[in-house]
Structure 1
């Protein structure tokens, strides 16, 4: 991957960076709907492109994310490629393309939504989903970075990414995002809680809690 190997993603805070980004490990960010998962990924992409990385962002939930990308100024950035996956097989093709193009960061939002939609009728859903996860692992083993959000099942302490048994086979690094009810959010990574707020055009990491 050339010069991309010397660059690391960032969310804009060195301490949180150290908890999120581990060499060779895809990162899975999970939490309930509206907790801030997409905002975290977009913040990482924005800050990392500013550092010199390229990013290949794949939405599995349609084009609604464009509104947030616009408000955060991502659509103006060079080095960002955006795609929308319409099926598990399409997602697999897009991830393969991102690897072939030597993308610095591959981001999938969300990794398991299409799997949840197809597993009841697509006999190859498990196989294709595992293949996508394996591709993310391959990308990180080659010196790239992979970040994905994940929908969840369960509540409170029992909350885990849907399909965790398959996800954990290739992706062991996770971070959980929750809401506090006070307009603040928490991202738990590396055994610590980090607080943030979502603003009109960014997310703000909170140092003093």
Structure 2
């Protein structure tokens, strides 16, 4: 079994954070490798998640149900599914809540959950679960903060070409930004 107990600080008001975490498409946009599928008449929906364990990637498909209590900014999620080859099955349950943060205009998202696995990949997934949950929480938190601030979520650049492209974009942006004195454009410290 994989246990999840996370606290995420978000520099946005609870109402805005709740708008994001209570909307499945917004949450999925915060999770690398996740996608929404068909919605069903009972309110549940299909979802997929590709998770990386070292050099191996495993795709999971699930039927997900979400129960929200708007007045308490609290939700419960349950999911049942299997990996793409059908050798590993899982059930997951999670409870999340958005509360006031430590400062004005800040929020805290608390998540408690557990995932039970059975089948061929269960021991492999459980072995790497700690590192995987930590990585996914960091990525989710960064995207959640961006979404709550109204900034479009972006994937980090991949490989050398992606880093080169990001460097070039930053360089061009600096050149187009007027300097403080207004007499010339900044070029990253060089003139």
TM-score, normalised by the number of residues in structure 1: 0.23
TM-score, normalised by the number of residues in structure 2: 0.24
1 or 2, which has the higher strand percentage? 2
Structure with bigger gyration radius:
2
The higher-RCO structure (CA 8 Å, 6+ apart) is 1
